[in-house]
């Protein structure tokens, strides 16, 4: 892993990135990293597979704006024609959002093949964590982390996002995990992996994406960006290689509608089981998300947008606090 912790590390880090045959780091992002300014990674599966066009494009732009508003530099990560992009140009963001070149959904296992075969791709949380860690980006904001699917103890459908958090020293800010998943088992599995789970806000509950409460308690809670940054800094000082999950509940305005959406979630999950959708690997999550959108009469989309706008703001604040703490 490249590190910017020493002067020597700093120069070898930028040289290695500049000379990397596979990765294009956006000049604005490279400059911020070199100057040790705060940077927030953003994923792109939510653009290619998580939301319909053009809401996906508008949301990708608004989360970048929120990161900037909090004093950090956004780095949306994705694959364009087999090149890893850390920071996307507007035309690249559009290309992914319009799905012009049939972008694939990329988790860690897909990275080598998709680059070799020159594909476009949306990076899931797992692949985004891989590239954020490579570039020494400390914070990553998204909507929902993947998790253990319902009946995952039988199907073994457990998102690659979870083990990735053991390998990448990155703070992932999400609105928890979706109630399409088995939230209790997801938290158990994160405990087994040794990944800290911290609710960000005024509650002990672990949030459930569309709603602020899952009924499961988070082991830890912070309510300001500096405390979050301190947790990251302690782990770094101890040489720990794992990340942290900060779970920020959806804004209050969307709490009531969360209950309606939950009914759509239950129906969608049931349908997925009945038609065997729950056995089709990486298509499961996009299929259920789309179905929840249809069943809720489009009500789930504004909630999805709002919660990621919220996590991007918080992610930007945590990154800014971390930079203050460590420079």
Known catalytic residues?
43, 178
Residue 170 binding ligand PSU, by CB under 6 A = no
Per-residue binding letters, 19-58, with ligand PSU (x by CB under 6 A): ------------------------x-xx--xx--------
Shortest spacing between CB 162 and ligand PSU, in angstroms? 9
With CB under 5 A as the rule, give the number of residues binding Mn ion: 1
Shortest spacing between CB 306 and ligand PSU, in angstroms? 12
Beta strands in 125-170 (DSSP E): 139-141
* R_g of the chain computed on alpha carbons: 18
Nearest-angstrom CA–CA distance, 327 and 325: 6
Shortest spacing between CB 142 and Mn ion, in angstroms? 16
Residue 125 binding ligand PSU, by CB under 6 A = yes
Token pair 């009945």 in the structure block, residue? 274
Shortest spacing between CB 114 and Mn ion, in angstroms? 17
Shortest spacing between CB 21 and ligand PSU, in angstroms? 26
Angle at Cα 222 formed by Cα 39 and Cα 265, nearest 5°?
85
Residue 157 binding Mn ion, by CB under 5 A = yes
- Exposure on the CB side of residue 222, measured as CA atoms within 13 A: 19
Figure out which of the listed residues 24, 92, 136, 161 binds ligand PSU, where binding follows CB under 6 A.
161
Contact stretch for Mn ion (CB under 5 A) within 12-20, 156-164, 184-192, 248-256: 156-164
For Mn ion, give the closer residue by CB, 42 or 288: 288
Per-residue binding letters, 140-159, with ligand PSU (x by CB under 6 A): ---xx-x------------x
Token pair 């994160």 in the structure block, residue? 190
With CB under 6 A as the rule, give the number of residues binding ligand PSU: 18
Per-residue binding letters, 304-323, with Mn ion (x by CB under 5 A): --------------------
Residue 212 binding ligand PSU, by CB under 6 A = no
Nearest-angstrom CA–CA distance, 173 and 113: 28
Contacts 24+ apart (CB under 8 A), 322-325: 322/38, 322/138, 322/139, 322/171, 322/228, 322/229, 322/232, 322/233, 323/36, 323/37, 323/38, 324/226, 324/229, 325/226, 325/229, 325/230, 325/233
Nearest-angstrom CA–CA distance, 212 and 125: 21
For Mn ion, give the closer residue by CB, 75 or 130: 130
Go through the chain and tell me how many residues it has: 327
Question: Is 253 exposed, middle or buried, given 0-12, 13-18 or 19+ CB atoms closer than 10 A?
Answer: exposed
Q: Is the bond preceding 206 in cis, omega lying within 30 degrees of 0?
A: no
Nearest-angstrom CA–CA distance, 184 and 174: 17
Contact stretch for Mn ion (CB under 5 A) within 40-48, 157-165, 217-225, 307-315: 157-165
Interface residue list for Mn ion (CB under 5 A): 157
Interface residue list for ligand PSU (CB under 6 A): 43, 45-46, 49-50, 124-125, 143-144, 146, 159-161, 178, 282, 285, 289, 304
């Amino acid at each position: 892993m490249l590190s910017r912790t020493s002067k020597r590390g700093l120069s070898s880090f930028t040289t290695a990135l500049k000379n990397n045959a596979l990765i294009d780091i956006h000049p604005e992002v490279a400059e911020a990293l070199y100057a040790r300014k705060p940077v927030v990674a953003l994923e792109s599966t939510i653009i290619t597979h998580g939301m319909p066009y053009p809401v996906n494009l508008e949301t990708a732009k608004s989360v970048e704006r929120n990161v900037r508003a909090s004093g950090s530099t956004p780095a949306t990560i994705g694959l364009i024609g087999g090149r890893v992009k850390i920071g996307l140009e507007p035309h690249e963001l559009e290309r992914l959002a319009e799905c012009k070149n049939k972008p694939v959904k990329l988790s860690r296992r897909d990275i080598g093949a998709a680059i070799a075969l020159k594909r476009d791709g949306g990076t899931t949380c797992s692949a985004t964590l891989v590239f954020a860690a490579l570039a020494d980006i400390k914070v990553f904001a998204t909507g929902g982390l993947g998790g253990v699917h319902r009946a995952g103890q039988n199907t073994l459908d457990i998102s690659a996002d979870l083990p990735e958090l053991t390998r990448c020293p990155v703070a992932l800010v999400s609105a928890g995990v979706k109630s399409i998943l088995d939230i209790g088992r997801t938290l158990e599995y994160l405990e087994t992996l040794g990944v800290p789970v911290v609710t960000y806000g005024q509650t002990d509950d672990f949030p459930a994406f569309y709603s602020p409460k899952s009924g499961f308690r988070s082991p830890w809670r912070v309510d300001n960006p500096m405390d979050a940054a301190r947790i990251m800094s302690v782990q770094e000082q101890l040489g720990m290689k794992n990340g942290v999950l900060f779970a920020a509940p959806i804004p209050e305005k969307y709490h009531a509608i969360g209950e309606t959406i939950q009914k759509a979630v239950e129906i969608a999950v049931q349908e997925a089981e009945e038609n065997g959708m729950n056995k089709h690997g990486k298509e499961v999550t996009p299929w259920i998300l789309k179905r929840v959108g249809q069943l809720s009469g489009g009500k789930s989309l504004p909630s999805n947008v709002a919660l990621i706008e919220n996590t991007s703001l918080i992610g930007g604040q945590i990154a800014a606090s971390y930079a203050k703490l460590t420079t």
